[in-house]
Amino acid sequence: MKFLKVNINTAAPRDPEASILLIYTGGTIGMVSDKEDQHLVPFDFSEVIHRVPEMRQFKVMLTVLSQDPPIDSSNVGVDHWIRLAQIIQVNYQEYDGFVILHGTDTMAYSASALSFLLENLEKPVIFTGAQVPIGRMRTDARRNLITALEIASAHRMGKTLVPEVSIFFNTVLLRGNRSTKVESRHFNAFHSGKYPQLAKAGIDIEYNPPAILPAPTRPLHVYQELESQVAIIKLFPGISPTLIKAILEAEGLKGVVLETFGAGNAPTYPWFLALLREAIDRGITILNVSQCEEGEVHQGQYETSMYLKEMGVVGGYDLSTEAAVTKLMFVLAQNLSKEKIAEVLQTDLRGEMTSR
Ligand code: ASP
pLDDT in tens, 90-100: 999 999 999 99
The pick from 24, 39, 41, 72 for probing ligand 1's pocket by mutation, whose C-beta has the most ligand atoms within 8 angstroms, reads 72
Nearest CA to ligand 1 atom 7: 103
- Residue 213 DSSP code: P
Q: Helices (H), strands (E): how many in the chain?
A: 9, 21
CB 30 within 8 A of CB 45: yes
User: What's the one-letter identity of residue 60?
Assistant: V
Query: Average pLDDT of 36-41?
Result: 78
Percent of the chain with pLDDT over 90: 78
CB 167 within 8 A of CB 191: no
The stretch 76-93 carries a mean pLDDT of 98
Q: In the CATH scheme, what architecture does the domain 2-222 have?
A: 3-Layer(aba) Sandwich (3.40)
Q: What's the CA-to-centroid distance between 309 and ligand 1, angstroms?
A: 38
Q: Is the pLDDT of residue 217 over 80?
A: yes
Report d(CA 73, CA 341) in Å as an integer: 29
- Local structure of 142: helix, strand or coil: helix
What pLDDT, on the 0 to 100 scale, is given for residue 11? 57
25 is catalytic: no
Mean pLDDT across the chain, nearest whole number? 93
First-to-last alpha carbon distance for the chain, in angstroms, is: 41
Q: Per-residue pLDDT averaged across 227-254, rounded?
A: 98
For atom 8 of ligand 1, the residue with the nearest CA is 104
pLDDT tens by residue, 290-343:
999 888 999 988 888 899 999 999 999 999 999 999 999 999 999 999 999 999
pLDDT category at 10 given cuts 50, 70, 90 is low
322 backbone dihedrals φ, ψ, rounded to 5°: -65, -45
167: closest CA among 146, 185, 144, 186? Answer: 144
CATH annotation of 230-345? 3.40.50.40
Ligand 1 center to residue 129 CA distance, Å? 8
Distance from CA of residue 353 to its chain's centroid? 14
Q: Is the CB of 128 under 6 A from ligand 1?
A: no
Whole-angstrom Cα distance, residue 122 to residue 202? 26
Ligand 1 contact via 27 beta carbon (within 6 Å):
yes
**Under DSSP, is residue 289 helix (H, G, I), strand (E, B) or coil?**
strand
Contact 241, 344 (CB under 8 A): no
Whether the CB-CB separation of 280 and 312 falls below 8 Å is answered with: yes
pLDDT at 190: 97
Q: Do 230-345 and 2-222 fall under one CATH topology?
A: yes
Q: Residue 94: which of 65, 52, 115 has the closest Cα?
A: 65
DSSP 8-class letter at 46: G
Catalytic residue among 25, 28, 106, 128: 28
Domain extents in the chain: 2-222, 230-345
Residue 199 pLDDT exceeds 90: yes
Q: What is the mean pLDDT of residues 183-212?
A: 96
The answer to whether the CB of 139 is under 6 A from ligand 1 is no
Decide: 110 in ligand 1 pocket, CB within 6 A.
no
Rounded Cα distance, 63 and 7, in Å: 7
Contact 110, 83 (CB under 8 A): no
- Helix, strand, or coil (residue 61): strand
Q: Is the distance from the beta carbon of residue 105 to the nearest atom of ligand 1 less than 6 Å?
A: yes
* Whole-number pLDDT of residue 270: 96
pLDDT of residue 122: 97
Characterize the bridge pairing of strands 230-234 and 285-290. Answer: unpaired
Verify whether ligand 1 is closer than 6 Å to residue 129 (CB atom): yes
* Predicted confidence band of residue 44 (pLDDT cuts 50, 70, 90): confident
- CA–centroid distance, residue 248 to ligand 1 (Å): 31
Q: Which mutation among 24, 25, 28 tests ligand 1's pocket best, with the greatest number of atoms within 8 A of CB? A: 28
What average pLDDT score do residues 141-151 get?
95
Distance 182 CA to ligand 1 centre (A): 13
Residues in the chain: 356
What pLDDT does residue 316 have? Answer: 96
Looking at this protein, which amino acid is placed at residue 182? V
Determine the pLDDT at residue 146. Answer: 94
* pLDDT score for 222: 98
